[in-house]
Amino acid sequence: MADRRHPTYLAFLAHRLSGLALALFLPVHFWALGQALQGEAALEGFLRWTDHWLFKLAEWGLVVLLALHLAGGLRVMALEFLGWRARQKDMAAIGAGFALAVGLLFLLHVG
């Protein structure tokens, strides 16, 4: 049985959960894009509605999820193509650091 506190298990879990969260977000994204098909007024109303700070926080969360999922996917690809490495914990930490750095850069740019 795998140790559920091991950094590589946490990286595995973060990759799977971020993918699930992104998949759940996708229908909402398509609905938002569909507002543009309803006309300019519908899209403008939707965009005004999303100007709330809570949506800005959710947008930041989405960017972090995307970066986390990207880093996790790159880690899995490295495992597939490069084989098992003794530095798996380091790869997991680099992926988490990458996701946080992207999130912080996004926060600095949004402000």
**Each residue's pLDDT expressed in tens, for the chain with a length of 111 residues:** 567 777 788 888 989 999 999 999 999 889 888 888 888 888 888 888 888 889 888 889 999 999 999 998 988 888 888 777 777 788 888 888 898 899 889 888 865
What are the structural domains, with CATH classification, of the chain? Answer: 11-110 (1.20.1300.10)
Sign of the torsion angle spanned by Cα atoms 52, 54, 57, 63: negative
Centroid of chain to Cα 81: 23
CB 92 within 8 A of CB 75: yes
Q: What backbone phi and psi angles, to 5 degrees, belong to 87?
A: -100, 35
Whole-structure pTM over 0.85, yes or no?
no
